[in-house]
């Protein structure tokens, strides 16, 4: 290959780099619509199966809806999911949820969850962080009798309320402890 041909090839390859980079970051893809459709389905299921969660939604300043988180482990474990942050029923950002763990574990499970941000301060801290990790400031609402989720006055005063539902799989319990949420471009 001559020197001129190599230079033309190199320049041509470099010119295509921004196009390839745009393909890799989701520009022009329909991933956002897929996430929004899954979020809508998840919210419809949540409100139908657990009508009391509508109260939490109406009192919250924002909600992070994660339609599906998949966890698996055999000594080492991990989990991943994608969802959307909605404020006033409008998607404002997309997030991934990742989790890693080490210890006695075996199996796999899937579940959905919604984080209800009950204070403006909690929502702002979440949105400003470069990677928010679920910790002790989350109050969990559990399925207490059959198909009824109850949120009492203590949970409604918590800065962040988590509802975990739709569990399927062969791992014991679903917890959000240690899950890291990161803003993404789908």
Q: Which pLDDT tens digit goes with each residue over 54-90?
A: 989 999 999 999 999 998 888 788 899 999 999 999 9
Domain ranges in the chain?
A: 29-184
Give SS3 for 52: coil
Q: β-strand 160-169 against 138-141: which pairing, if any? A: parallel
Name the range with the highest mean pLDDT among 53-57, 92-96, 145-149: 92-96
Please give the residue that has the higher pLDDT: either 13 or 45.
Answer: 45
pTM given for the model: 0.74
Backbone φ/ψ region at 56: left (φ over 0), alpha (ψ -120 to 50), beta: alpha
**pLDDT (tens digit, 9 = 90+) per residue, 18-30?**
433 334 444 557 8
């Amino acid at each position: 290959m001559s020197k001129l041909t190599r230079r033309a090839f190199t320049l041509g390859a470099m010119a295509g780099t921004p196009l390839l980079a745009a393909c890799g970051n989701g520009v022009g893809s329909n991933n956002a619509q897929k996430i929004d459709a899954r979020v809508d389905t998840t919210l419809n299921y949540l409100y139908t199966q657990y009508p009391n969660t509508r109260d939490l939604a109406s009192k919250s300043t924002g909600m992070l809806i994660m339609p599906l988180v998949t966890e698996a482990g055999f000594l080492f474990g991990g989990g991943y999911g994608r969802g959307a942050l909605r404020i006033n029923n409008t998607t404002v950002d997309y997030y991934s949820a990742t989790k890693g763990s080490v210890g006695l574990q075996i199996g796999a499970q899937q579940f959905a969850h919604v984080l209800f941000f009950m204070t403006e301060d909690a929502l702002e801290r979440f949105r400003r962080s470069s990677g928010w990790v679920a910790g002790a400031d989350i109050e969990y609402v559990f399925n207490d009798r059959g198909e009824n989720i109850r949120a009492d006055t203590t949970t409604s005063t918590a800065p962040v309320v988590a509802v975990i539902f739709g569990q399927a799989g062969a791992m014991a319990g679903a917890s959000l402890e240690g899950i890291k949420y990161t803003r993404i471009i789908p």
